Amino acid sequence: MKKILIIVDEADLRKLLTDYFKINGYFVMTGKNGNEALRQIENQPDLVLLDINMPIKKKSVSMKMKNCNFLKLVVITAMLSTLLACSHGNIGSKTNAAQQGDTKSILGYYDKDQVSQSSLTKYSNYLNQVATDTFNVDSQGNVVGNVPTAAVAFANSKQISIYACLSNYGQDDFDPDLSHAVVSDAMVKRKTIKNILATVKNNGYSGINIDFESVLATDRDNFSTFIQEVANTMQAEGFKTIVSVPAKLKDDPNDGWGYAYDYHSLGQNADVIQVMTYDQYGPWTTQGPVAGIDWTEQSIQYAVSVISPSKVNVGLAAYGYDWNTTTHKKEDNKQVAWKDIPDLLASTGTTAQKDASSSSSFITYQAADGSNHAVWFEDTLSIQEKAHLAAKYSLNGVSVWALGMEDESFWQAIQAGFRN
């Protein structure tokens, strides 16, 4: 499939061109300014359409585009826009059907109210499920947090299934003592399940997403029983249960992070197992891919060996990490949103490199304070490859962390991965 990059600042024209070239078999990447296009040109499109009326103001951007010998530039004129507009009706109807494609689940996690709400409304056509990560459990079995009423109302108005995501997040991290209190004490467990049902039932949710992380390995059986009882309660009331689990390559009793999650048992009871195939490396580790395609596929291969593939979601990260390789201190490392990568490339004057085995992009740069940095991040092709695993292994779909970190090119890459 040929790749085309469309750089147009006018939204209607950009959509028109996108629709036209999708129908004609292109993998379409877009940008509304030259800065956004920086990330896309690293993927070496076969053709670039550039709006003649849209000046690329930043010198660093224009220089990079001129220095890319592989770029084939076509200038968009008003005449081309007019000709395409003549067939706009036919394009629109075909694109809606194409976007629906197959029935894969596309679950987006709603994190911070303002940015997540904006992303939800802007990209709702790409989503069919949302989970609001706005609830925690306490040691007494209370569900604490808030209902983002605008998100719930909007999702229901668009027929997007929306889930309450419940975690065991404590003061500053996931708390194994909280999850232990819930899954090991019969009284606390009953109260938690009762409160979960009330939260879902009284607030317009479609079900629950249990996201208990850092669960003690000794709580493996207790956690499985807890999920079975949650799922039974939800099912009896017509609601669904999603369980988020860490990615792993095998069921290893010596794995302190992943052994608590009995994939087989959880998969028998939950409706969806959301495999968190991200954070392969993070601020707490040395530098490396956020989610290499090799590691991601091996994780999914293990998951489908013990869980029905139709219940499995592959996780996609809409972010990267920036490591300070001078200080090597965890607190000096930071997360970088997908949508902020073009600005980082431009401000550092760097060009992304590709790690072959992980299919992950990375850069190195020196900050103003003299410290050296390494940044690993996803790009449109790596997201497309991971989304394709949903088709390759007949999975339920994909899950995205998190709404508000991405831009439209991220969702377009998912759609392309489903098709190809």
> Which residues have a catalytic role annotated?
213
Could you identify the residue written with the tokens 């147009």?
8
Three-state helix/strand/coil letters over the chain: CCEEEEECCCHHHHHHHHHHHHHCCCEEEEECCHHHHHHHHCCCCCEEEEECCCCCCCHHHHHHHHHCCCCCEEEECHHHHHHHHCCHHHHHHHHHHHHHCCCCEEEEEECCHHHHHHHHHHCHHHCCEEEEEEEEECCCCCEEECCCHHHHHHHHHCCCEEEEEEECECCCCECHHHHHHHHHCHHHHHHHHHHHHHHHHHCCCCEEEEECCCCCHHHHHHHHHHHHHHHHHHHHCCCEEEEEEECCCCCCCCCCCCCCCCHHHHHHHCCEEEEECCCCCCCCCCCCCCCCHHHHHHHHHHHHHHCCHHHEEEEEECEEEEEECCCCCHHHCEEEEHHHHHHHHHHHCCCCEEECCCCEEEEEEECCCCCEEEEEECCHHHHHHHHHHHHHCCCCEEEEECCCCCCHHHHHHHHHHHHC
Phi (first) and psi of residue 111, to 5 degrees: -110, -80
Asked if residues 150 and 204 have their Cβ atoms less than 8 Å apart, the reply is no
Q: Is 313 exposed, middle or buried (0-12, 13-18, 19+ CB in 10 A)?
A: buried
- Compute the distance between CA of residue 231 and CA of residue 318 in angstroms, rounded to an integer: 29
Tokens encoding 278:
């991200």
Residue 86 CA: distances (Å) to CA of 75, 80, 282:
19, 10, 49
CA–CA gap between residue 28 and residue 279 (Å, rounded): 28
